Structure 1
Amino acid sequence: MRNYLLVFLLLCTFRVYSQTTTGLTGKRDTSYTSYSDYQKTRKQHPDIKLVREFKRPDVREKRNLVYCQRSDRKLMLDAFYPQPKNNQKTPAVLIIHGGGWRSGDRSQHYPLAQRLAALGYACFTAEYRLSTEALYPAAVYDLKAALRWLRANAKIFNIDTTKIAALGFSAGGELAAFMGTTNNNPKYEGENCSLKYSSQVQAIVDMDGTLSFVHPESGEGDDSRSTSAATHWFGYPKKDNPALWAEASPLAHVGKNTPPTLFLNSSVARMHAGRDDFRKELAKYNIYSEVHDFPNAPHSFCLYEPWFEPTVNYIASFLEKVFR
């Protein structure tokens, strides 16, 4: 069905290599933050403005909530949700930060969560175990647990459990797509936290997140200068375990159970590798999708004006359309 993937696997050797754990430093990687990215990005885009947090009387907040108590530590998220109106249930959005599966922080998207909450969405920014702490698929297990937690706590936040979206930026975009393409797949649920609840999502918003690690358009896995972010996450270079790299690609799982999907993309083509093939698969099942490109925009466009407000508007319009 996906000829390029078959060719890729056939061209690779299938010798079994040992997984490397050198990237498991146990120390937080702070190399990617909104501010450090701003300092770098404004060299090419001097007029950008880093979007700051909002304070609105119509948005409630609860921060540092434990969504999963693991044996070794607690996993946290933050809630930003609107004042309830007329007992009407609220659609929910799980927001997943970027940073190459190794760095970044959920606070990156507080402004986005606050803006969407003001528009009527209950938004939750979740942390997940990064590759300094645990290898793939730990992050997947964590975020599935976060989705189950939303349903377990639906009454507290007035959530409509039939209208939950996974939204992410960069590595978070890849993870959001993976959440949606593995709906109802028990292999990726993990074994901890709120297991009697569903992790299903009814919409995907992918902001510059790759759809495939092995697609010809992909730039992931270049270890010629230093170990790539994806190699750190998998514990294998692409050539040593191509099957794992393929399995971790949302494109490998897209099908009839994949929900409607919105793609918001920068001018950096490799950051949306596999998008067109992903949409073709959705079209086979008459599943709705949208694409909006921001010409000349940097990869981290969603953190800055002049792209932040259009990003919010595209997301809100898409969610209104698919949840209506």
Structure 2
Amino acid sequence: MKTSILLTFILFFGLSSRAQLVEINGIPMDTSYTPHSAWVKLKKYYPNVTPVFPKLPANVSATYDIVYATLPKTNYGKRELKLDIFQPKVDGEYPALIMIFGGGWRSGNKAAQVPMAMQIAKNGYVTIPIEYRLSPEALYPEGVYDIKAAIRFVRANAEKYKIDPDRIAITGSSAGGQLAALVGMTADVKKFDGYSAEMDQSVEVQAIIDMDGVLDFTDPNESAKDTDPNKRSAGAYWFGATYKEAPEKWVEASPLVYAGENTPPMLFINSAQPRFHAGRDSVITVLDQYHIYTEVKTIADSPHSFWQVHPWFEETVQYMTDFLDKILK
């Protein structure tokens, strides 16, 4: 119990605003990016921002740390991957939203998605922040496999958690947005399947929400960062190679490559920082050709990580809920 309480504190508030590798239960983790560290960084430039904390609505129940996959053989021994579930207390069958945290594929934790998950759940959704393996523990594409395993688990246990298995959406912020888009666009791409206990279950989703997640890794804002060999980019850490060393990995992980007639409707919620729009307009151009519904919400004068703080938290939740209502209800 003491370990669990300490872990929750570290993952929400962090130990340092600088990159810091620690071992938690024998697993290397970078604790530098948390909701608290995001607020501390942002308030230097936006002094009126305030932190967002979890607040469970009266009509929502919460279940934490459900094991959705057990990996018997990893570099760090047996590994359990976990998710949280927030669901309306009233009986029924609800659409589900799988939620992917960000942090440069290196830092962060599912706790960052919990405040948003709680507020969306009160509007008639089952919301599911999930854990996945980050670059200090496992390189690309292992985290992609983890997210697909989570979708299979959710679909296999839909009745238990009041979920309509035909109405499942996925969302993510920053690196989580890139992952949500990649997973959402590649249901039929076998190389990303990985393995989990519910391989008979579909990994299709019916909607995607991308919050400031890049869709094209070949954009110079991402691919041209590795000019200093002693200061590797987040992408280079995740791929285990720079763009120059292994361009095929950077291309393969770009959601833009997979945009097409089978892509579900998409909502893009963007900050005012152009760097995080990489590939968005190209994806929309492709989807327009197939008459696939898209929306873009760009929050004026906002920084990256806008979803982590007030005053942009409520606006973000409203955009997400409105889109989900339109597509899934």
Asked if residue 235 in structure 1 is aligned to residue 265 in structure 2, the reply is: no
**TM superposition shift of 1:184:** 2.1
Partner of 1:224: 227
Letter in 2 for 1:252: V
Letter in 2 for 1:160: D
**TM superposition shift of 1:192:** 2.2
Letter in 1 for 2:128: F
Q: 1:220 to 1:32 in 2, by over 3 A?
A: farther
Q: Is the 8 A contact 1:183 1:258 kept in 2?
A: no
Asked if residue 208 in structure 1 is aligned to residue 212 in structure 2, the reply is: yes
**TM superposition shift of 1:84:** 3.0
TM-score where L is the length of structure 2 = 0.88
Partner of 2:12: none
Partner of 1:77: 83
1:50-109 Cα deviation digits (max 9, x unpaired): 111112221010001000011021000100111234x3x200000000000000011011
Segments of 5+ residues of structure 2 without an aligned counterpart are: 1-20, 73-77
Letter in 2 for 1:237: T
Count of aligned residue pairs for this structure pair: 299
Letter in 2 for 1:118: K
SS at match of 1:283: helix
Asked if residue 254 in structure 1 is aligned to residue 262 in structure 2, the reply is: no
* 1:263 pairs with one of 251, 268, 292: 268
Asked if residue 158 in structure 1 is aligned to residue 158 in structure 2, the reply is: no
Superposition CA RMSD, Å:
1.5
Q: Is the 8 A contact 1:84 1:158 kept in 2?
A: no
Q: Is the 8 A contact 1:77 1:124 kept in 2?
A: yes
SS at match of 2:222: coil
TM-score where L is the length of structure 1 = 0.89
Partner of 1:129: 133
Asked if residue 106 in structure 1 is aligned to residue 110 in structure 2, the reply is: yes
1:151-180 Cα deviation digits (max 9, x unpaired): 011011111111111100000000000011
Letter in 2 for 1:158: K
SS at match of 2:30: coil
**TM superposition shift of 1:239:** 0.6
Q: Percent identity?
A: 44
SS at match of 1:297: coil
* 1:245 pairs with one of 232, 244, 250: 250
Partner of 1:119: 123
Q: Is the 8 A contact 2:57 2:119 kept in 1?
A: no
1:273-312 Cα deviation digits (max 9, x unpaired): 0100000011011000000001111100001111111111
